[in-house]
Amino acid sequence: MGLIVREWRGRSAANGAAALLASVAAIALSAPSAHAQQATHPTDQSKEAEQQRAALAGATLLDKILVLSRTGETAIQSLASASHVDQEQLDRRMATTPNEMLLGVPGVAEQADARRVSTSINIRGLQDFGRVAVIVDGARQNFQRSDHGTQSTFYIDPELVKSVDVIRGPVANTYGSGAIGGVVFFDTKDAVDFLKPDETWAGSVTGRYESNGKGWTTSATGAYRINENWDVLGNIVYRDYDNYKDGDGDTVNGTGFDVLSGLLKTTVRPTENSELKLGWVGSSDDWDETSGGVPVNDVDLKSNTFTARYIITDEDKSWLDLHINTSYNKTNLDLTSLAPQNRFDPVTGLPVVLPAGSLSTFDVGTTGIDIWNTSRFETNGIAHELTYGGDWVGDNVKTGGAAGGDSFYTPSGKRNVSGAYVQDKLTWDWLEVIAGLRYDSYSLKDDTHDISGDRLSPRVTVGVSPFNSAGLAGLQFYGTYAEGYRSPSITETLISGNHPAGVSFPFLPNPNLRPETGKTTELGVNYKQNDIFEPGDALRLKAAYFNNDVDDYIDGVTLSPFAPGSGCPFGPGIPICFQYQNFAKAKINGFELEGVYDAAWGYAGLSASITDGHTVSYKGVEADLATIPSSQVTAQLGLRFLEDKLTVGGEVQYNGKPKGNAVAADYTLVNAFASYQATDDLKVDFRADNLFDVKYANPLNGSTTIAVYEPGITLKLAATMRFGG
């Protein structure tokens, strides 16, 4: 398919956005002013919120409880490469797109191909087709559309998110099938985090302007506490941005966008020890796609995610800590051609004209069920946290449209993946052992194919804390061996037809694809220490080296009809074929570091990741892996003034060119920020991204031969007004 650069020229009416925002504000303003009692029996996230607010001095970001942890761990306690991004960090980053929320998280990169609203996440050089499980409030995001560049994208507005958790590597296989790269969990806002203890209702309105692209963001939030055991929250966001300019001052076409998103969530606590969360996250967007700077398609996107999460525990959290998650995510993307386009018939490969008004549709529905329980007990002085459960995810892909339309290259079909697992975390004095086993199975079918497979994947982790002296008591070493299993996607297995534009050649299905098996060895260290230079300060540090061999790695290859056994027919057009095939393996290794020092005067952070990798054919031929991201080092410094009402600081990030990328280059970015809590009800934020106006390109974007340049200097100014009673 020809490379298409999308121009997000939204057509959502501003009047509609204003009406929706006004509705939320009206609900909040019309709420009763009587004060409600604080909930007396908070559970799960509400309890975690209370614990965080009550934390002693010396707590840092790495001390925050991971929302996706199934044993209630913080990042610094986890014997795995885990990171947490909290609300304060998200506010500081003033993220406009999902890409910006994960700034400086080691081992994590994002690909957008100038499509700023949609994102594909890369962890340790692995991405697309479910290698990284992207989860919003427990719902898998599995939307996929065949194209040059990124294949799998998700849609979530940063204004709706309160925290992000990341676990890198296949140790994350208790969180669902296929996540051989890792898991990214987006947790949306809750009423308990927004309402003050003595409030029945509250609302807030945020307005923000950005200089590059001359963009506006408007966000409104309203929350209401119905009684001590029932609350509700709503959030609506409208964004309107033009194309941005790169560091040379040149406009990058296809980067403007116009988005309307929303969130509704209610939490009910039926009993003292149980909690039910019901949520909806949605987006309705319109934009134009351009090719060569000319609009070619009108795009209508609707994305809706529905979730239900139920938690029940006993009072002392011994044998019962049960979680039941159900979800449904539906993404509908319609393309309507704006002008006649010269294409090739997907069946015959002969030239055809795609008339103006032709429609291509991409409808992807994903249903998920995830159930697990953690039992805590002791045997002979050894503490056990035994976690066991199962999950199922079903994808239903329906595509269609006119001959020559883009949807023919994202095949329709159904895929089901399911699994069950058991994991025991044993702790005895200075020794910690985690042993787990997961069973995965999958089935994939369309009208002519029915494919299935299964596998057992183990995990073993050993952690030791050998020192008791004051300076070394917080030092912990660990080693892990873990495996993960990813089944082929519908597209990788069933893609067929002829290349739609530019040149004609066939795509060949491959029903004989074998699933990928990730086998990772990881050596890591955790370190935590308080009261180092002054009372109440804290140092937290995580570092790890990993080696991941992905057996039967799947990637696209070009075939010649003259090669024996290629299966590529000779026909009109360029005499090649494209097919997804297995490689013997992909070999990826790297180093990651994340550290933070926090004191009364401010904080300092340092993170780094170095990733290298290549594929190996069954004949032993090595080749560069195009999804290897830049090596990164990110330093952060923040200073607090005026009794912590004012925070100012900055970030410096160095990005090193990956091997094998002809258009990539090293670059360094400098950002600055300031946040001022002027009153209890008014907050002002400022941020300057790319302060020195560097012209740079993310090597993952576009392709390895075409650079898509990122924004030059961007100034952001926002004000948030809050009210409640």
- Please write the tens of the pLDDT for every residue from 291-339: 766 778 888 889 999 999 999 998 776 899 999 999 999 999 888 888 8
> 288 with 338: CB under 8 angstroms?
yes
Give the pLDDT confidence score for residue 33 in this predicted structure: 34
203 has pLDDT over 70: yes
CA distance 564 to 568: 9
Q: Which residues lie closer than 8 Å to 88 by C-beta, 6 or more apart?
A: none
**Rounded CA separation 150/147 (Å):** 7
pLDDT(464) > 60: yes
Give the pLDDT score at 344. 80
User: Which amino acid appears at position 29 of this protein?
Assistant: L
Contact 38, 314 (CB under 8 A): no
Alpha helices in 6-86 (DSSP H): 14-29, 44-53
Q: What is the pLDDT of residue 21?
A: 33
Give strand pairing partners of 68: none
- Helix/strand/coil for 141: coil
What does the alpha-carbon distance between residue 507 and residue 498 come to, in Å, rounded to a whole number?
6
Residue 644 burial (10 A CB sphere; 0-12, 13-18, 19+): exposed
Write down the pLDDT at residue 293: 66
105 pLDDT higher than 60: yes
pLDDT on residue 55: 41
Mean pLDDT across the stretch 405-424?
88
- What does the pLDDT average to over 204-224? 96
Q: What percent of the chain has pLDDT over 70?
A: 89
- pLDDT tier at 145 (50, 70, 90 boundaries)? confident
pLDDT category, 705, cuts 50, 70, 90? low
Q: Does residue 57 register a pLDDT over 60?
A: no
What average pLDDT score do residues 90-115 get? 88
Higher pLDDT, 109 or 660: 109
Length of the chain, in residues: 725
pLDDT of residue 172: 63
433 forms beta bridges with 426, 462
pLDDT tens digits for 158-202? 999 999 999 999 876 678 788 999 999 999 999 999 999 999 999
- Residue 40 reports pLDDT greater than 80: no
Instruction: Count the alpha carbons within 13 Å of 719 in the hemisphere toward its beta carbon.
Output: 5
Euclidean distance between CA atoms 53 and 57, whole angstroms: 11
572 or 145, higher pLDDT: 145
The answer, yes or no, to whether residue 41 has pLDDT greater than 50, is: no
Give 115's Cβ-side CA count (13 Å radius).
28
More confident residue, 526 or 359: 526
Q: In what order do the strands lie in the sheet with 139-140?
A: 81-85, 161-168, 182-188, 132-136, 139-140
pLDDT tens digits, one per residue of 671-686? 999 999 999 999 999 9
Query: pLDDT value at position 54?
Result: 35
pLDDT of the residue at 11: 37
CB 258 within 8 A of CB 12: yes
Pairwise pLDDT comparison (417 vs 26), residue with the higher score: 417
Q: Identify the pLDDT of residue 44.
A: 44
Instruction: Give the model's confidence band at 717: pLDDT under 50 very low, under 70 low, under 90 confident, else very high.
Output: very high
What confidence score (pLDDT) does residue 288 get?
76
Cα 583 to Cα 217, 434, 594, distances in angstroms: 45, 31, 33
Which burial class, exposed, middle or buried, applies to 621 when counting CB atoms under 10 A from its CB (0-12, 13-18, 19+)?
Answer: exposed
What is the pLDDT confidence band of residue 65, given thresholds at 50, 70 and 90?
confident
String of b and e for 54-82 (b: at least 16 CB within 10 Å)? eeeebbbbbbbbbbbbbbbbbbbbbbbbb
pLDDT at 149: 65
Quote the pLDDT of residue 384: 95
For tokens 């949807």, name the residue.
Answer: 407
Residue 255 has pLDDT above 70, yes or no: yes
**Above pLDDT 90, what percent of the chain?**
62
Mean pLDDT (the chain) is 86
pLDDT digits 0-9 by tens, 487-541: 999 899 988 888 877 777 888 999 999 999 999 999 999 999 999 999 999 999 9
| pLDDT in the model for residue 59 | 63
> What is the pTM (predicted TM-score) of this model?
0.89
Q: What is the pLDDT of residue 5?
A: 34
